[in-house]
Chain A
Amino acid sequence: MSTAVQTASAEVPVGYESVAPPSGKLGVWWFLASEIMVFGGFIGSYVLLRVAHGGWPDQASHVNWRLGAINTLVLVTSSLTMILALNAVRIERRERAARFLLLTVLLGFTFLGVKSIEYTRELSEGFTPSSGMFWSFYYIMTGLHGVHVLGGIVLNAILYIAAVRGTLWSGNRRARVEFAGLYWHFVDVVWIFLFPLLYLA
C-alpha cells in the first residue's frame, strides 16, 4: 500500500495539500463536542430544576467553598503546567516537558485529594446523594467530573512515562501531548462552570 500511495501522491496536483487539522486532533475535538453535551445536559437540568423548585440554597450553603476555591486554583494551575509541557515539547526541551507533565499529574492528584477531603466531610456530616436534590446533583456532577480528572491523570501519566523512556519522541507521538492537553483544558473548563454553580450560587 505504501508504494501505491507514494506513486499516487506524486500525481497529486499542486494545491491539494490539506489544510485540515491532523486526524487525531479532529477526533479529540469531536469527542469534546459530545462531552460538552453530556455536561451540558447536567448543567441544564440543574439550572432548570433549581429555578423551578425551592429549598436548594439551604442545602447548597453546606458545601465548603474555600476548598472548592483552592481546587479551582489547583486545576487552573495544572492547565498552565500542561501548556508549559506542550511548549517544552514544541521547542524540544525533553526533560522540561517530562517535568511539567509530572507536575500536571501531581496537580491532578491534588485536586482529587482535596475533593475526597470534601466528600469525607460532607458524608460524615450526613449529606449523602439522597439528602436532597441539590446534593444529588452535587455528587453526580462533581463525581463525573472527578472521573474525567482521573482519566486525564492516566493519560498524562502515560505521556510522562513515554517522555521519560524516550518513546514519546519517536514519529508523530509527541502530538499526543497536545491531544491530552485539549482534553485536560476541557476538564478544567467544566470545573470553571461547576464551581460557581455548585459552590457560589
Chain B
Amino acid sequence: MEVATSHTQPTGFIRRYLFSTDHKVIAKQYLSLSLAMALVGGFTSYLIRWQLAWPETNIPGWGPIGPDDYNAIITMHGTVMVFFVAMPFLLGAFGNFLIPLMIGANDMAFPRLNMISFWTLFTASVVLTSSMFVPGGAAAAGWTSYAPLSDNPIYTGVNRGQNLWILAVALEFGSFLMGGINFLTTTLNMRAPGMSLSRLPILVWMEITAAVVFLLSVGPLIAGALMLLMDRTLGTGFFRPDRGGDPLLWEHLFWFFGHPEVYVVALPGFGMMLEIIPVFARKPIFGYRTIIWSTIAAGLLSFIVWAHHMFVSGMDPRLATPFSVTTILISVPFAIIVFAMIASVWRGAIVLSTAMLFALGGLATFLVGGVTGIFLGSATTDIFLHGTYFVVAHFHYTLFPVTFFGGFAGLYYWFPKMFGRMMNEALGKIHFLFTFVCFNAVFIPLFLAGLKGNPRRLYEMSSYDFLKPVQQFHVIATIATIGLLVGQLPLVVNFVYSLVRGKTATANPWQANTLEWTTASPPPHENFRKMPMVYRAPYEYSVPGAPSDWIPQTEPPQPIYPVTAVAD
C-alpha cells in the first residue's frame, strides 16, 4: 500500500479553508459551490415555469422575460444543473469526502491536484455566471449547444455569451478530469489493508465507474468544443454545411459524451441510495456482486447508446435499430440494480429516517424515469415523442431522483460525519414530503402534455390552437414548481440550524458498518488515528448469531459467527 505522507494540518486560514489540500475541506467547498449554483438553477426553473404558465406576465421578483431571455435562461438552467450542481454535488462533494474515508486512506492520492480541480471548477462557475452579464447576454443555444444554432452568432444573437459558455464548460471538463484521475488512483492504490475490491462499499464502485465513464467519454466533446470555438472565432466550418462541414458531427460528439454523462451523474446517486438502504433496512445489500457487474455493464453500454438522441436528426435511419437495441439493453443492468434495492428493503427492519425516505423516494421516482426511457429509446415511439414535453418529464424523472433524492439522502446521512452534528429529523421529513409530492406534481402533468404532442422549447403555447388544452398542465406544473422550491426552505433552515445548534453526533450514529463510521465525527485531519484493518464485507447487518445487528468492516473474525467474503 502507498505509504501515507505525513501531513499536518495547516493553521493559517487561507491554507486551511481556502486552498486546503484536505479532501474533507475540498468536499465541503464542492458542496457549498453546488448548493450555491443550485440556487441559480432553481431560480431559472421558476422563471421558465412562470413564463410557460402565464406567458409574458410580470414574474414576481424578476419582471417579464422575452423570447431571447427565455432561450438564455433555459440554456443556463440545463448547464448549471448538470455541470455545476449534479456533478459537484454527487462527485465533487460526496466522492471527495467519502472515497478516502470509505477505503481507509488519509487523503486523496494527489491532494494538490484535488485542490486545483476545485478551483478550476470555481473559475468555470465564475465564467458561466459572468456570461449572463456580458453584452448580448448568456448563451442561448440550449445546454446541448446544437450546431449550427450555436455555431453562428446571428442565429441566437449571442456572441460573447456563447464563447464564455464554451470556456466555462471546457474548464468544468478539465476540473472533473483531474478529479476523476484522483478518484481512480486513490481507490486503486490507497486502500487500507484488507479492503479488497470485493469489500469496497458500492458507492466507491459507482464513483470510480462514473469517473472512468467521464474520463473516456468527454474527450470527443473537448475536441468538438475546440472545433465549435474555431468555427465561431477563426472562420472554420466544422459544423456549417455552407462551408463543407456537418452539423450532425456536433450532435454525435455531444451525445457521445452527453449520454454517458447521464450515468456519470446517475451512478453516484444510486451509490448513495445503495449505501443508505441496507443501513436502514438492517439487512445486507441484496446481490453485491450482481450490482457491481451491472454497474460495469452499464458503464460499458453507455458508450454505444448515444444516437438514440438523434433518431429524428437526419442521421442514417439504418442506425436507428442498433441504437434502439443497445438502449433497451442498458435498461437491463439498471433494472437489476433497482430490483436489488427493492430486494434489500424486502422484509427488512425498516427505519424511515429522512435519509431512508429520500433513498426510497429516489428509487420510486427513478423507476418512472427508467420506464419512460424505454419509450424514448425505441425509435418507433421516439419519433412520436421526440422533442415533446414527454422528453422533458422523462429526463427530469431520471436526473432529479439521482441528484436530489440521492444527493439529499446522502446529505442527511453523512451530515453528522461531515459536520459533527445531527440534522433535525422533523424538518427533514417535512422537506422530504414537499420535495416528493411537488416533484411528481411538476412532471406528471408534463408527461401528459408531451403525450398530447406539446413541443419543447416553445416560449409560450397560447399562439397555437392545438396547445390550448395543455395549458392547464403547465399551470399545475408551475404551481408545483413553486411548491418544490419553497419546500427547500426546511432544508436551508435545517442545514444552518444543525450546523450551529444540532445535536452533537457520535462516531457512528446510524450503526453502520463502513469505515467512515469507525472514526470520529467529524474525522480528524488525518482521517484515522490508526490505520484501519478490514476483515469483512461492508453490509453485514443482522448476521444470525452475531451479538449485535451490525458488524463493522474492521471487526476481526470471531469464532461464534461466520465471516463471509462477500455479502451475498
User: B-contacting residues of A (Cβ < 8 Å)?
Assistant: 1-2, 4-5, 7-9, 11-13, 16-18, 20, 22-23, 26-27, 30-31, 33-42, 44-45, 48-49, 52-53, 55, 128-130, 132-133, 136-137, 139-140, 144
Contact yes or no, A18 B224, CB < 8 A: no
B residues near A139, Cβ cutoff 8 Å: 236
Closest to B183 in A: A30
Q: Can you identify 18 A-B contacts, CB atoms within 8 angstroms? A: A1-B8, A1-B526, A4-B530, A5-B106, A9-B531, A13-B193, A16-B193, A35-B219, A37-B218, A37-B219, A39-B223, A45-B220, A45-B253, A49-B245, A52-B246, A130-B234, A130-B235, A136-B237
Are A8's CB and B531's CB within 8 A?
yes
| Contact A40-B220, Cβ < 8 Å, known A9-B3, A53-B244 | yes
Least Cβ–Cβ distance between B4 and chain A, in angstroms: 5
Q: Mark B209-227, 1 if CB is under 8 A from A, else 0.
A: 0000001111111111011
**Contact (Cβ within 8 A) B530 A8:** yes
A48 to B253: give the CA distance in the assembly, Å.
Answer: 12
Distance in Å: Cβ of B547 to nearest Cβ of chain A? 24
**Number of residues of chain B lying within 8 A (CB) of chain A:** 55
Q: Which of B5, B109, B215, B223 contacts A41 (CB 8 A)?
A: B223
| A6 (CB) vs chain B CBs: closest residue | B3
Determine if A136 and B216 form an interchain contact, defined as CB atoms under 8 angstroms apart. no
Contact A136 B238 (CB under 8 A): yes
| B223 near A38: Cβ-Cβ < 8 Å | yes
Contact assessment for B217 and A37 in the assembled complex, using a CB-CB cutoff below 8 Å: yes
Given known pairs A34-B219, A37-B219, the reply for A27 and B110 (CB within 8 Å) is yes
- B528 in contact with A140 (CB, 8 Å): no
**Given A2-B6, A5-B531, A144-B226, residue A37 in contact with residue B185 (CB < 8 A):** no
Q: Are A45 and B249 in touch, CB under 8 angstroms?
A: yes
Chain A residues in 8 Å Cβ range of B193: 8, 11-13, 16
Rounded to whole Å, the gap between the CB of A127 and the closest CB of chain B is: 13
B219–A40 touching, CB < 8 Å: yes
Nearest chain B CB to A18 CB, angstrom units = 5
Closest CB in chain A relative to B121 CB, distance in Å: 16
Contacts of B219 in A (CB 8 A): 34-41
B220/A38 in contact, CB under 8 A: yes
In the docked arrangement, what's the CA distance between A33 and B215, Å? Answer: 7
How many pairs, one residue from A and one from B, have CB atoms within 8 Å of each other in the complex?
149
**Which of the residues A30, A42, A129, A144 comes within 8 Å of B185, measured between beta carbons?**
A30
Give the nearest-CB partner of B245 in chain A. Answer: A133
Contacts of B57 in A (CB 8 A): none
Which residues does chain B contribute within 8 Å of A23, judged by CB atoms?
2, 109-110, 185-186, 189-190
The distance in angstroms between the C-alpha atoms of A9 and B180, with both chains bound, is: 28
Give the docked Cα–Cα distance between A1 and B8 (Å): 8
Residues from chain B with Cβ under 8 Å of A40 in the complex:
219-220
What's the Cα separation between A66 and B84 when bound, in Å?
A: 48
Contact assessment for B189 and A26 in the assembled complex, using a CB-CB cutoff below 8 Å? yes
B249 x A129 contact (CB < 8 A) = no
Which of B4, B181, B249, B253 contacts A2, CB < 8 Å? Answer: B4
Nearest A-chain residue to B226, judged by Cβ: A140
**Interface pair B181/A31, CB less than 8 Å apart:** yes
Q: Is the CB of A38 within 8 A of B236?
A: no
Q: Does B184 have its Cβ within 8 Å of any Cβ on chain A?
A: yes
Assembly CA distance A44 to B222 (angstroms): 13
Bound-state Cα–Cα, A200 to B253, Å: 26
Chain A residues positioned under 8 Å from B319 (CB to CB): none
B531 contact set on A, CB distance < 8 A: 4-5, 7-9, 11
Interfacial residues, chain B to chain A (CB-CB below 8 A) = 1-8, 106, 109-110, 113, 177, 180-182, 184-186, 188-190, 193-194, 215-224, 226-227, 230, 234-238, 243-246, 249, 253, 256, 526, 528-531, 533
Q: Looking across the interface, which residue of chain B has its beta carbon closest to that of A43?
A: B223
Check A140 against B230 for contact (C-beta < 8 Å).
Answer: yes
Given contacts A1-B8, A34-B216, A136-B237, A18 and B2 within 8 Å (CB-CB): yes
Query: How far, in whole Å, are A130 and B237 apart by their CA atoms in the complex?
Result: 7
How far apart are B215's CB and chain A's nearest CB, in angstroms?
A: 5
Is B215 within 8 A of A12, CB to CB? no
Instruction: Assess A49 versus B7: contact at CB under 8 Å? Given A34-B219, A41-B220.
Output: no
The CA of A34 and the CA of B8, in the complex, are separated in Å by 33
Name the A residues within 8 Å of B226 (CB-CB): 140, 144
Candidates A16, A27, A49, A53; contact of B1 at CB < 8 Å:
A16
Chain B residue numbers with a CB within 8 Å of A140 are 226-227, 230, 236
Bound Cα distance from A142 to B104, whole angstroms? 44
Check B1 against A34 for contact (C-beta < 8 Å). no
Q: Knowing that A36-B219, A48-B249, A129-B235 are A-B contacts, what are 11 other residue pairs whose CB atoms are under 8 Å apart, sorted by A's residue number?
A: A5-B106, A16-B1, A16-B193, A26-B185, A27-B181, A33-B216, A34-B181, A130-B243, A136-B245, A139-B236, A144-B226
Distance in Å: Cβ of A195 to nearest Cβ of chain B: 19
Nearest CB on A from B293, distance (A) = 22
Give every chain B residue within 8 A of A129 (Cβ-Cβ). Answer: 230, 234-236
What are the residues of chain A within 8 A of B224 when measuring CB–CB?
41, 45
Complex contacts, A128 vs chain B, CB 8 Å: 235
| Contact, CB under 8 Å: B236 / A1 | no
- Whether B528 contacts A4 by the Cβ 8 Å rule is yes
- In the complex, the answer to whether A38 meets B230 with C-beta atoms within 8 Å is no
What residue in chain A is nearest B223 (Cβ atoms)? Answer: A41
Whole-angstrom CA separation of A52 from B222 in the bound complex: 23
Q: Please indicate the chain B residues that have their CB under 8 angstroms from the CB of A13 in the complex.
A: 193
Residues from chain B with Cβ under 8 Å of A11 in the complex: 193, 531, 533
A55 touches B244 (CB 8 A): yes
B-side contacts of A53, CB under 8 Å:
244, 246
Q: How far is the CA of A31 from the CA of B177 in the complex (A)?
A: 8
Complex alpha-carbon distance, A96 and B191, angstroms = 38
B177 / chain A contacts, CB cutoff of 8 Å: 31, 34
Task: Give bound CA distance, A42 to B224, whole Å.
Answer: 8
User: Which A residues are CB-close (under 8 A) to B256?
Assistant: 41
> How distant is B255 from chain A, measured CB to nearest CB, in Å?
13
Residues of chain A lying within 8 A (CB to CB) of residue B529? 4
Cα-based distance from A49 to B244 in the complex (angstroms): 9
Contacts of A34 in B (CB 8 A): 177, 180-181, 215-216, 218-219
